Structure 1
Amino acid sequence: MKLAIIVLCLVALVAAAPQRRGNYYSDYSTVQVLRYFNENSGVGSYSFGFEQSDGNKRQEQGELRNEGREDQYLAVKGSYSWVSPDGIVYTVTYVADDKGYQPEVEQGPGEVPAALAATLLGAG
């Protein structure tokens, strides 16, 4: 009887262990940074980016436009992507400037869920 209880406990532990499906990590402690850069001139321009072992990526560049004028603004462009639990890669490419935030959502095979699209586009 004791052996059966021990076996059942071991089976329960294995079943409860974090699972990795495709390129998606449910245990973030195993995610590694594969690439990282960060450049900042200190006078109005910057760029940074990273790539992780779980498929997440981000890069961004920004520059000050019309410096010293009343219509001065920071123009930013970049992208970020991630792998969903079902293995679909989502990528958002964006520009943020004097015309506002302008994202474009791309994905691998399948359809972008409406709630996700609304959130990414600022409507949700």
Structure 2
Amino acid sequence: MKYTVGVLLLLSVLRSSICADVEAIIRNDFDGPHDDGSYKWALQTEGGIYHEQRGSVQAAGGEPSLLVEGQYQYTAPDGQVINLLYTADAGGFHPTGAHLPTPPPVPPQIQRALDYIARQSRLNDV
């Protein structure tokens, strides 16, 4: 019983702290969906959160699929402005942004070994 009361108290504190941080929406533009499946929207809060997106149906390769392009921006708790551009299509979600980690370059010795393995694999397939 004490455990249940503690959990309920914790949830109520979390709920009140989350609700206290609600920001006013200063931009809320929506257009669509249209007959061709296209749409676009943009949303911005007074705290500097911005998100926009547009989508359209593409018929590449026979099967129609949705192509989505957008971006969002906000300020992280450490003060860094996060700006992410993205596309999403039949091949998945493709984000780009300066804050995203990137893999280190492949050392030349490892690349030569990978190239050698690929060549051997092709020779064995013939």
* Normalised TM-score (structure 1): 0.58
Q: 1:27 to 1:85 in 2, by over 3 A?
A: farther
Percent same amino acid among aligned pairs? 23
Asked whether 1:48 is paired with 2:55, we answer no
Unaligned runs of 5+ in 2: 1-16, 103-126
| Structure having greater relative contact order (Cα 8 Å, sep ≥ 6) | 1
Distance in 2 between residues matched to 1:47 and 1:59, nearest whole Å = 8
Asked whether 1:62 is paired with 2:55, we answer yes
Aligned mate of 1:71, from 63, 81, 106: 63
Distance in 2 between residues matched to 1:51 and 1:39, nearest whole Å = 15
Higher strand share: 1
Q: CA deviation at 1:42?
A: 4.1
- RMSD of the alignment, in Å? 2.6
Tell me the equivalent position of 1:81: 73
Q: Deviations over 1:1-45 (max 9, x none)?
A: xxxxxxxxxxxxxxxxx8xxxxxxx9413x111111011114310
Distance in 2 between residues matched to 1:37 and 1:62, nearest whole Å = 14
Aligned pairs, number: 84
Distance in 1 between residues matched to 2:48 and 2:63, nearest whole Å = 38
Q: Deviations over 1:68-90 (max 9, x none)?
A: x8421000100011111122110
Tell me the equivalent position of 1:5: none
Report the AA paired with residue 87 of structure 2: V
